[in-house]
Amino acid sequence: MTVNRTLQDLLRLAAQLVPGLTGIVREGECEADYKALFTHWSASYPEAGRAYWSSRCWGIVIWQPVYLSVIGVHAAHASLSLTRIIQPIDGGWTREVQLPDHAPMRGDPSVLIEHAAREITAFCRLVREKLTPVIRLNPAMMNGTLADVVLAALLATRKARPEWSDTHVQTLGDQWLAALDIAAHGGYFAFDRTDGSRALALERQTCCYHFRRRDGAMCSTCPRLDKHERIVRLNMERDAALEA
């Protein structure tokens, strides 16, 4: 089968930028089993509760298509169609994104952002319709998690766009959230690293409730922490990674 070259290059680049981000050109084999996804997380961590289970399921299902869309726009100058994508569930995770062969949209970045935002919105609407019979979803959680995933995807894309300044990344983040109509649900904040350089971190509005797991703790960007504590944790994580 001859695959559209732009699509093929986009998926290859995304996989290079983000390990574990897997897009495959293939007509979907079967529908994602959302009940199995919910059962995995609720059975694995019964103590964490519904807020954690719903946040976990929602985030797992949306992250790969959203990352592929954002990386596509800014690193490959193309916007994917998310119609008819399939994500097989394996061990509580989406193994990959299966996309039918198609020609991604090309054009001006602002036009591509608007197109990608429409694709993401339609995809998220479909996921919500399929997940809701399995577990109740909080609209604020859905919007906040979507905002965090989009903004995190921009930070990942920055590896391919080293010329981007912090201000430019923040401007792009605002543009994406506005296009998705979730402008009040997330953002970035700048902070000083221990080596004196500056960095951006997610200014999250929504908690993922990971701390409710028996093995859990608050994330370094948890909105329940004051900003000083978030900065301390972010620097500790980076310093530990550099020393490893």
Phi and psi at residue 126, in whole multiples of 5°?
-65, -40
- State whether residue 99 is helix, strand or coil: strand
Beta bridge partners of 199: 191
**Element holding 150 (H helix, E strand):** helix 139-157
Question: What's the residue count for the chain?
Answer: 244
Q: Tens digit of pLDDT per residue, the chain (244 long)?
A: 678 999 999 999 999 999 999 999 987 667 788 999 999 999 999 999 999 999 999 999 999 999 999 999 999 999 999 999 999 999 999 999 999 999 999 999 999 999 999 999 999 999 999 999 999 999 999 999 999 999 999 999 999 999 999 999 999 999 999 999 999 999 999 999 999 999 999 999 999 999 999 999 999 999 999 999 999 999 999 999 888 7
Q: Distance between the two ends of the chain, CA-based, in angstroms?
A: 43
Q: Parallel, antiparallel, or unpaired for β 93-94 and 188-192?
A: unpaired
